[in-house]
Amino acid sequence: MGYSICITRVGDDPDLEYEPIELDEWLNYLSTDREMRAEEAAQLTTPKGERISIRGAGTALWTGHPSPQYADGVWFYHGGNGVCVNHPDAQTIAKMHTIAQAFGARVLGEEHEEYGPDGEIVPGTEPEPLEAPPRAAVPGFFQRLFGRRR
């Protein structure tokens, strides 16, 4: 599935509160944005070249991406509390930010980092880096070979 970034209405603590973007709100928005098109199903091509169809209410296609790489569009989907895109690039995140403004919402990643209108992470909202577990003191090669000197 991959990393998703979502348009969602949350307070300052994304773990505690949110006001869902309802499906009917999303569908109403789609009727006003000329670059977005509601679809019954997302049509995707697998790495093996097979075409698959994923059905879901609230599936939409953004046809206004400026890059030729996305000439077929970018898929948006309505999920539990908002609208998400898998692996969006900076231009798609910028479009998501524009849409978010219509809902009084924010654009957040799975680690609760917030994205701005430029498609970049808003400073101060970066995810916490993963800490490596402390390394156990392992004796060096010569210590293992000759033992400890006192």
pLDDT tens column, 89-118: 999 999 999 999 999 999 999 888 999 999
Q: In this structure, is the dihedral angle defined by the CA atoms of residues 103, 105, 106 and 108, taken in order, positive or negative?
A: negative
pLDDT tens column, 51-84: 888 788 899 999 999 998 888 899 999 987 899 9
Give the amino acid at 51: R
* Cβ(43)–Cβ(51) below 8 Å: yes
pTM score of the predicted model? 0.77
| Residue 99 DSSP code | H
- Structural domain boundaries in the chain: 4-124
